[in-house]
Amino acid sequence: MNKRKLFAAVAFFFVSAVSFAQAPVKIGYTNVDYVLSQMPESKQIEADLKAYSAQLENQLKSKYQEFETKGQAYQKGAATMTDVVKADKEKELMNLRTSIEEFQKNADQSLQKKQQSLMEPALDKLQKAIDDVAKENGYTYVFNSDAGYGTTPVLLHGPEDGNISDLVLKKMGVTPVKPGAAPAAEVKPATPATPATPATKSKSKAKKK
């Protein structure tokens, strides 16, 4: 009985494998960055990222200016400060510098999250268009030929008639401009130089007579 079940299972697997091998397979590919760069949403995404980046950059500059102002005041008045006051000012400047470094790091992460949230609806729309084009044109698989963001493309070579990028654009109501159009550049907040802690005077000079 067990042998019969095993034979039936092997026969079923063999028939399925043969059927799969005989099924027609049509492979297509698309350049995701090329398509995204021509979608109308790309301009709004770029504008929103620039505005968000400018907001972060202004906050960073404000912190940096505060550090410079207090640093200059420290340099001018250090000679007449008591040890207690001077130590307090130095601690304040160190805290400000730490705050600047943390804000800069968090700003980069925040910008990346903002970009992801802005891109998500466009990527969902693109995926739906790819699915529709694949079904309508009988493509079994669709690969990505884009090598953006420092990654290796899934497809390294393929015939031009397998490129469905323009079909995907037309499916979304976009008229292709020209192949190889560059995608919108990623916007990042400006990175000012890490502020240095003002040099301190010797304690002997700081004491009042």
pLDDT at 143 over 60: yes
Cα 203–207–209 angle (5° rounding)?
A: 150
**Gap between the Cα atoms of 176 and 204, Å rounded:** 74
How many structural domains is the chain composed of?
A: 1
Give domain status of residue 194, yes or no.
no
Give domain status of residue 11, yes or no.
no
Give domain status of residue 72, yes or no.
yes
Domain that holds residue 155: 26-188
Task: Please list the helix, strand and coil fractions of the chain in percent, rounded to the nearest 5, in that order.
Answer: 65, 5, 30
User: Alpha carbon of 22 to those of 18, 19, 134, 143, 150: distances in Å?
Assistant: 6, 5, 20, 22, 38
**Gap between the Cα atoms of 59 and 53, Å rounded:** 10
Q: Residue 74 has which token pair? A: 């420290």
**Gap between the Cα atoms of 20 and 81, Å rounded:** 85
pLDDT tens per residue, range 85-134: 999 999 999 999 999 999 999 999 999 999 999 999 999 999 999 999 99
For the whole model, what pTM was predicted? 0.61
Give domain status of residue 21, yes or no.
no
Give domain status of residue 110, yes or no.
yes
Give domain status of residue 15, yes or no.
no
Give domain status of residue 2, yes or no.
no
Residues in contact with 189: Cβ distance below 8 Å, sequence separation at least 6, in sequence order? 53, 56, 57, 60, 104, 107, 108, 111
Cβ proximity of 47 and 118 under 8 Å: no
Give domain status of residue 200, yes or no.
no
Q: How confident is the model at residue 161 (pLDDT cuts 50, 70, 90)?
A: confident
Cβ proximity of 89 and 209 under 8 Å: no
